[in-house]
Amino acid sequence: MISVFVAGACSSGSDGVASGSSRSTTVPSVTPTPSTTTTTQAPTTTPATLPPVVPPEGYELVWRDEFNEAGLNTSLWTVEHSTFGDGNNELHCYAPGNVNVSNNVLAISATDNQTTCPGNKRRDYASGMVHTRDTAAFRYAWFEVRAKVPAGQGLWPAIWLSPNNDAYGLWPRSGEIDLMELRGQNPTVARVNFHYADSNGGREQSPKDVEAEGEGFHEAFHTFALRWTETEITWFIDDVEVHSVSGWSSEVGPFPAPFDQRFFLRLNLAVGGNFPGPPDNSTSWPAVMEIDYVRVFQSFP
């Protein structure tokens, strides 16, 4: 049984989580990139075990994971094992043991267990992150993720996109797009956002906080989607458009830079950090972020 479908890759032509690394001060030359990069073998038909999907009008399904295998498909995802997030004062070690697939759901668990990460870095909390860097990266696509998040002081679940090659330099110069992030102490409000270097070199963003309709984001699964075209980025929650941006101006290059390169997916549950603050005695452990599916669609001429 497999849980990926990849088809029709395009040819050439067609505050959030940030690294604590130093920033780039020069603009590297940038060559055109294909709209899709994937190293996964593409089957000729959709496997019968996968549920049928109706793409958005004008789009085709090109990549998916329904998490219907016995474990995480590591040909699609890389499991982070580090203290990624130090630059945001996050408090966890991302550990492989905190990522699990069962009952057709990807579960990313945060615990208050002391954990040692590579480099002998000891942390009071452990959690998980998976990403698709160098296995699946896309330019101009429609992303859709169905997820349920945990509630609790100091928890920071996120679904986001990072540049595959940092073509314009380190964050924020090469950009970031957040499909969803939220503070666990306020789990009925999700934030959508994007980040880049403005015309003066400073960090620019466009955050929009969205109140859940009906059940909170911690009480039921909700669908978070992003439509990214050459001229506009639009966010949707449960099929309702909630935010849109266009016409941004960056010092790294002409519009639409830096959002003219391939970006990859990240799914993670951070503990602590500048955005939510630290956990406290009210935070329940383990805290679990659940992902039902991840799907990517693209539009072809």
Distance CA 165, CA 161 (A): 12
Closest CA to 217 of 148, 128, 118, 281: 148
- Cα→Cα distances 290→224, 268, 296, Å: 13, 10, 18
Catalytic residues: 176, 181
Using alpha carbons only, what angle is made at residue 188 by residues 186 and 193, rounded to the nearest 5 degrees? 85
Task: Please give the helix or strand (H or E) that residue 154 lies within, else none.
Answer: none
Burial label for 220, CB within 10 Å (0-12, 13-18, 19+), is exposed
CA dihedral 108, 207, 276, 190 (to 10 degrees): -50
Judge contact between 96 and 81, C-beta under 8 A: yes
E-strand stretches of 49-90: 60-65, 78-79
Phi, psi at residue 221, to the nearest 5°?
Answer: -70, 140
Question: Taking phi first (over 0 means left), then psi (-120 to 50 degrees means alpha), and beta for anything else, what does residue 89 get?
Answer: left
Q: What letter would DSSP give residue 254?
A: S
Sequence-distant (≥ 6) Cβ neighbours of residue 29 within 8 angstroms: none
Token code pair at residue 270? 């951070």
First to last CA, the chain: 32
